[in-house]
Every structure is written in structure tokens, then in C-alpha cells.
Structure 1
Amino acid sequence: MNRRTAEVERYTLETQIRVQVDLDGTGKGKFRSGVHFLDHMLDQVARHGCMDLEVEAKGDLHIDAHHTVEDIGIALGQAFAKALGDKRGIHRYGHAYVPLDEALSRVVIDFSGRSGLFYEVEFPRDRIGDFEVDLFVEFFRGFVNHAQATLHIDNLKGLNAHHVAETIFKAFGRAVRAAVERDARTAGVLPSTKGLL
């Protein structure tokens, strides 16, 4: 069975991004984005998504992390679209609830061919260390627009901003893992009655 891998390079005047993904990996990650908290979150995605993920980025961090975070989301979405190909034989849908102490988040994804982000998260503070939590929505918007996926992210409870973020990214990894997993019963079949995703 073919391994589903992809490498994407995205170069703009603001950022230089390289993303490599192996959807059939074992959870290994290597991250050098210059945005340390995002690297920590991407490590959760790789580990809990059971995918191998490598991200290298150089961005205009002297301004802020916005362009770097958003463009990593875009490149990751492009890599997923490339690795999934025509999506034949995948489950297509995935969901996960993940707790961490007092925090609980739910993530539901559909690799539908239609991009949409429905993000219901209120953080108890504006920053985690030097990371602006507003940038998470930019990351996920970049991802869904280029992976052509519908993504629902709901934080159900949480008092600690770090815990909230970690439950979101762990749940995202687990939901993605479920959605991209191959279904032996529908091998080679497109998971849609339309005949196109």
C-alpha cells in the first residue's frame, strides 16, 4: 500500500516555509518555526495524529508571529491535500474529545472538499508566554482553506490557557487521524455519493 506523503514549500516576501507530512507515520515530529509555542502544539498534532510531521519556517518575527503562524497553516493544509490525493478509501470524517485536567475540547473534521472553520474558543487570557492566542484561528483558517476541509473546534471548558490550547491541538491530531485512516471495507471507494470530493 502506498504511503501518503507530501512536501510543500511556500515562499513569500514575509515567510519561507517547508512542510513535510507522512500520514502513515508513527508520530515523529521535527519543528523549527521560530514560534516555540506553535512548535509545541504541532508536536501534539504529530504525536496524537500518529503522523510524521516536519516544519521549518523563517518569517518576519521582528514584526510579529502572524504571517509565520498563518503561512504554516496554509502550507500544512496544502501538504494534506497533496498527501490525500483523491481521498479514495479514507474514513473522511473524524472527531475527538480531549481533556487535560480542567480543560476539555472537541474537534470534528470532514475532508469534504469544502473549506469551513467554525471556531468557538474563548481563552482566559490573551497570551501564552509570548504567543498571542488570536493566532490559533489564523493557523486553522489557513489549514482548512488549503486542505479543503470543514473543521469545528469547540473548547467546552478550561481555566488554564495552556491547557485549553493543548486540548485543542491534541483533539485536532486525533480527529485528523480518524478521518484520514484507510477503511479496509471501502478500499478504493470515494467516501461520497457525489463521486467527487
Structure 2
Amino acid sequence: MRVVRLALVAAMAVAALPAGAALAPGVKAPDFTTQGALAGKPFRLHLNEQLRHGPVVLYFFPAAFTSGCNAEAKAFAEAMPQFRAAGARVIGMSADTLPQLQKFSNEHCAGRFPVATATPELMREYDVLLDRPGMTRTMSDRTSYVIARDGKVVFAHSDMNPVDHVRSTLAAVRGLSRN
């Protein structure tokens, strides 16, 4: 009986995991327009407009004001001089409301990069939506994309641990500037 219960618990845990969330390199990144905040100030964010200035690191995070998301935002904020030197912009995305993101952009992003609202449709297009019956729609994973100026995904990194997102996306951006 105990073995059956353990097998059932393991099966339920696997079913709750995202199925390898990430768009494949070479795929055109879905364009979008949404509301964002930079240093607490709201603005309209359009991906294609951002790409006119160079590559974009688009990172999806589960929820503002949680320990992992706070740490990830701080790490991206601290690395902004390196991203700028490589010609890239960083945009954080979550399902949080604009007022939440306005506060988060000041407190944890240090006003150094924008954060924006992601609708369930956008999360689905970027393969980061956990939409299970009986559960709230939420970000399923911490996924970072590097999108080249031509709008194509050149790198994707999915991992709930925020530690490698900054390092790996910065390396991918630097690789673009060498090509």
C-alpha cells in the first residue's frame, strides 16, 4: 500500500512540472504590447520597438516580492552595466499587476530595467504558463530568452533556480556581439 501511495505522489509531482518550457532557438519570438514599469513609472512596452535598439533578454519570473524573484531582479540590476556594454536590454515579465510591478521596479530592480505584465495568452505563447484544472494560472517556470535584433530566439534557459539566468543570458548576448 505504501509503495502505491509513493508512486501516486511521484506521478502527481511529475504532472505538475512544466513540459520543458522554452521556445527553441531559431523560432521567431511572439511580438506583444503590454504595460510595464521602469523606476516606478508606467509605460507601454512593445517588444518590436525594444528590438530596434538591439537584442533583448526577456526573462519570465513567477511573482514579484518572493525571495527567488527578488534575488533574480537584484542580480539582473547589478549586471545591467554588462548587458548595456553588450548592447542588450533586459525586460522582466510576470503575471503581477501593474501597481505591483511599479513598486517592484523601484525596490528590487533598482530602476535599472523595466518589468511588465504578462497575460495568460502571452505566457502560453512563450511556453511559461502553468494552467492545470483547479489551479490558478501562474508562471510555471523561471525562463529567460535572448532575442536577437531580428526577433529570433537565440538562447533559452529554464530553471526555477534564479542563479544561472543572469550568467547564461549575458554569455549568450556577448556571443551575439562577437558574431
Structure index of larger Rg: 2
Larger strand proportion, structure 1 or 2? 1
Q: TM-score scaled to structure 1, two decimals?
A: 0.28
Larger helix proportion, structure 1 or 2? 2
Q: TM-score scaled to structure 2, two decimals?
A: 0.30
